[in-house]
Structure 1
Amino acid sequence: MHKVQLSYLLTPERGKDALIRNPLMDLLHAVREQGSIGKAAKALDLSYRHVWGALKDWEQTLERPLIVWDKGQRARLTEFGEKLLWAERQAQARLAPQIEALRGDLERAFSSAFDENTHVLTLYASHDAALTALREHAGAHGLHLDIRFMGSVDAIAALNAGRCTLAGFHTLDQPASQSVAARTYRSLLKPGLHKLIGFAHRTQGLIVAKNNPLGLASLADLARPGVRYVNRAEGAGTRVLLDELLAKAGLLPAAIAGYDSQEPSHTAVAQAVASNAADAGLGIETAAHEKGLGFVPLVQERYHLVCLKSELPTPQVQALLKELQSRDWQTTLGSMPGYSVKLAQSGKILSLRGALPWWNYRTQKS
């Protein structure tokens, strides 16, 4: 059985009908109506050679004759050719409402591309509930965020490779110059090349079962016998944060059962705890709240957006800054569990050296 493939055209105006056009059916219809290849070609405003060659090509593709090629006789369709036209008419009549709906959906989708007041911004980012909320908020104002969630390291690498306009990552407030975060991000971010945009200030902590039946209160409790931990994927900002906190607490990863497990998002970590596949995981309060779980706050951190300095003046980035600074967005962010509006600096251009103070003149020159 031969398969059907659909395609579409972008034109200034619609055609005369709402059908899905097929060049073969147009050729067959013209031949049947005009009675000759030459007249069919003229009616279609095509050359005789083009129509004749196209029909021969279609016969070869379909492995069936389409035209009765008798010299001196009126050109006519074979039975197979007639059946093709009949089948096409049946399908077009039956599917006309769906075809029109599909056409309308495509036109509405593409209308944003022709609207000078609409912008699309590609963002690769570490998973964050506020970013999901921002996508909905900004979309209502003509800024469409094409977000792909991944680890912080991969997101910044994608930015530097030109695969996105912005990247999202997070660190502790004022991470130390010899911190795990500094070792992870120092080679990826450069003053003078990148621009940092404030986005959110949030709490990270342990996502635990409702009412915290195991009484988990710190990272040290994760090393207790029988406690099952669920981790984020390697390269994720939250896993970098965990390694940072473990180093500060003098704990080895091997002491935590489940350190080698990998989940792609805060939501996935919360689901693992909710389904009793794990007892705890490091994550954001919103993820715990959505699953009806307990939450043990541990640290405050900043979630940053970063772009190349050359992209900062572009319309799409400027539109994002406007959204982040709007009162509506501040209200939305403030309503989310675990987020602070006062400390977010949302939409502000920040000093890379100030927010991530692990650079100095000597290290820049070396």
Structure 2
Amino acid sequence: MESYNDKAAQAAADYFEQIRSEWSNYLGKDLPDFDRPPLPDAGRAVWKLAGGSNNTDYPGLRYEDVIPDANGQVHNKYGLRIDDLWPKHANLDQWKTYLRHVVSTSSRIGMLDQIGSDPSKPRWARVPVGETCEFCVMLASRGFVYLTRETASLGGGFHNGRCDCNIVPSWGERHIAGYHPDTLYRQYKSCADTISTLTTQDKYKEYLSTLSDKEKAKAPEYKKWKRDLELAEMRWRDRTWLNTGTPPPVGYNPPELQREISNIRPHEIRTAQRLADNGVKATFKIDVKKVPNENGKGTHDIGYADLENGIEIKTLKNTSSTNTINSHLKSASKKPDAKTVVMDNSENDGMSDEDLIARIRRCLAFRDGKVYIIRHDGKLTRAR
């Protein structure tokens, strides 16, 4: 594994030198020389991939705490050593997967070491490799803005070090084929805007007020609390949309449902398409099932959510009554798989979007689920 680590780190260092030289030529000036840092050893990649000591019985240690000194001693009271974090895989396929992570992690660590030591202070970007997760979409959407590890940290252990993004430095304006931070930011901003009324400082204070003193001591600071809510919203969206902005197609499971819904409930298809335009995967499913009665005689119907992933949709038409809104929420609360209700207000002349949100927040039904509205402009907003 050390061989894979060393080759990856050296490749990153060589790439850094190549880009730095090209930028120096392009800018027409010499960039200041500096002492290059040593290549990272395999232990740093192992530490990163293990999530530090957080997945052991001894969380909170630093990398230096588990590295033996010249006398072979480690400086933590538990005796945890970096060797204890090396993987113990049983088969070749697991090792191949792990080595791929080692290569990308060592390359990233080596590149960041070079950038951090460079007195010319290049900016750098996280450039995804193919479709990536919500956390990396958020960071990659910022483009070439990072100067240090810390400016991009915001939860470095989000996927236990198994990020596959590339670290690319730049000494000026730069465009990379296939990397479109403005597109990524558009999707990130859409998700953040959807829940913006629920991520204010006042809402954070409300959240803290529900915690005990012991829980408050461990509560995340506002910035991280807000970020985690935004990431959860992004996680709910379709991965392809999140990366490209391309809406997922409305689906039907089984396919025969399309004809039935088109004939009987075409308004639901319009609502599903609006959801898809906002990056939510909308797949219709059978929403009524017959189950045996408890006495063993006959059956009765049980209603389920309209869409997969527990999404119940309501297309509002000429709706102006709070009782109607509450009735919809009560109905959803009786459906065992319903987790989210989406009320489509885009075709409704009976109330404004703000009025609808206020009425939803006053209703007591469906308190354990999420409630969204589709606004008159077609955008998605979470009401509660």
TM range (shorter): under 0.3
Higher RCO, 1 vs 2 (CA within 8 Å, ≥6 residues apart): 1
Structure of greater Rg: 1
